[in-house]
Amino acid sequence: MENDLSNYRRSYDRGELLLSNVPENPLELFQKWFYEVEQFFPEDENNAMTLATISLDQYPKNRVVLLKRFTYEGFIFYTNYNSEKGKAIEANPNVCLSFFWHGAERQIIIKGQAEKISENLSDGYFESRPRGSQLGAIVSNQSEIIENRDVLENELKALEKAYKGKDIPRPNHWGGYLVRPVELEFWQGRPNRLHDRIRYKLRDDYNWQINRLSP
């Protein structure tokens, strides 16, 4: 099989990113971009992000997860702690997040360290989820081999019956991670492949060093 994709190209011309107009704190720029995408490009799922970890077999692995909260501390997502990604984070908490918003011709790449959030925060978010999602977190032994889909469907039906009219407790193996950033790169597509790239690196004094990178 051979497919020549050399003619797949487009010009990027929706915006610009200059050192003269970026804030000192990258989380402020992230917030600005995040809500601009939400407002002007609603077709993009703006909280979908790629999470990269180093698996136990030492290969990098990417998957898309959903950002559920961000603060000046960092970025929070939720998952099964016993999943492949959870085991990878336990062994090596250095991770990379990336957002690509094709409508805005923007991407953000974030390096950081992941850590579990407090149990009460995980409890609070779990309680806010639809019941189906709560039960799904109990049903799924994430990343484990199963015989077929019927295994999941039958377990879900059994749990629906068992918890009918009852609160569903958060399983201990499910909760949130906070990714504390040490580096963020903001990328704005520009014509002629001369894209704008602004990088923030966290210094030892906890201030951010800001540089423009060549495309």
* Helices 131-139 + 149-162 axis angle, to 10: 120
CA angle 120, 125, 126 (to 5 degrees): 95
Residue 164: strand, helix, or coil = coil
> How distant, in Å, are the alpha carbons of 119, 122, 168 from that of 180?
18, 17, 30
Q: Which two tokens stand for residue 204?
A: 């030892």
At 85, list the tokens: 């990604």
DSSP summary character for residue 141: -
According to DSSP, the β-strands at 106-116 and 60-66 are unpaired
Of these residues, 193, 199, 203, 212, which one is catalytic? 193
* R_g (Cα) of the chain, nearest Å: 20
DSSP state of 42: T
Query: 160: helix, coil or strand?
Result: helix
212 given a catalytic annotation: no
Determine the Cα–Cα distance for residues 81 and 85; give it in Å rounded to an integer.
8
Q: Which amino acid is at 132?
A: G
Q: Which residues are catalytic?
A: 193
